[in-house]
Amino acid sequence: MMLNVFRVNLRNFIKMSSIERIKQNADLAKQTIQELKNELNFLNNEYNNILARELREENARLLAAVEEAKAHLVKLEVKNGIPQIPVPNQTSRPITTSVESQPPKEESQPTQKPQKEAKPKKEKKPKEAPPAELPVDIGRLDLRIAKVEDVQRHPDADSLYVLKINCGEDKPRTVCSGLVKHVPIEELRNRVVMLLCNLKPVKMRGITSEAMVMCASSEQGVEVLIPPPGCSPGEPVHCEGYTRQPDPVMNPKKKIFETVAPDLHTDASLRACYKGVPLTVPEKGAIVAKSLANVPVK
């Protein structure tokens, strides 16, 4: 019985000793961690102090270099006759030609760069007003008398002719025209026509068309307009009451032709008109259709 009691007491003693050792080890580890933290903080502070000292020294060196460069610049300016103007409320002495021989002071207040004499401002020229926009009317269209010198079928479009037309320029213009179903090819060869010459060139099935043959057009048919006898290629077409001042090339975005076209038509006398006023070649006569009266011209 006594032996059992002794054994139990011994086991309890051993357990308590183990717990005490664990506690002691934990306290020792805690103390060690705290000491390491203190050592790390000390090293951080030392590093920061060293870095701050190095930065201050580098800053002082840079300031000295700046002062030396400024002094050299001032000497060159004085040598070239540039006056030195002292800056108001500045405690430093005015800089003279002997500044270069003076050693720069650390942490000294930087000398402000001398101000140069202000140059008189140039007077701005008033902007020219943009040119007034011309009225959108028949005068903006470059309508001329022209002569068809050659006609061929378009190789890639059954409804198109390819014409070579003399409109009074160095060489004929190429014109693609959808007249195949309306005018026999024989009637177009060597024919005198009215040509619209300032449309923007456009490709039609691979061939660039540079103008448009003007026609009377309706559901009954299409007729190429007929200039008066005795006209020559290049003669301008006029409309009384409207100043002829055509654009070199009409801007498609401004839709000039689209605006003018609804007012182009033939009258009861077969004359091609703009707002009821006939289109004419001065001293030679009016542009007419063969038989289509009161129909659009396009």
Task: Show the tokens assigned to 82.
Answer: 């540039």
- CB-based contact 147:128 (threshold 8 Å): no
Maximum mean pLDDT: which of 20-29, 31-40, 76-85, 206-215 = 206-215
**What gap in Å lies between CA 213 and CA 146, rounded to an integer?**
9
Distance between CA atoms of residues 210 and 122, nearest Å: 49
The domain ranges of the chain are 1-101, 138-286
DSSP calls for 68-128: HHHHHHHHHHHHTTPPP-PPTT--SPPP-GGGGGSPPPTTPPPPPPPPPPPPPPPPPPPPP
Place of tokens 């926009």: 133
* Model confidence pLDDT, tens digit, residues 122-170: 667 666 666 677 889 999 999 999 999 999 999 999 999 999 999 999 9
Q: pTM of the full predicted structure? A: 0.56
Six-digit token pair at 236?
């301008």
Per-residue b or e along 2-13, where b marks 16 or more CB atoms closer than 10 Å to that residue's CB: eeeeeeeeeeee
> For strand 238-239 and strand 221-224, is the pairing parallel, antiparallel, or unpaired?
unpaired
What would the CATH number be for the domain defined by 138-286? Answer: 2.40.50.140
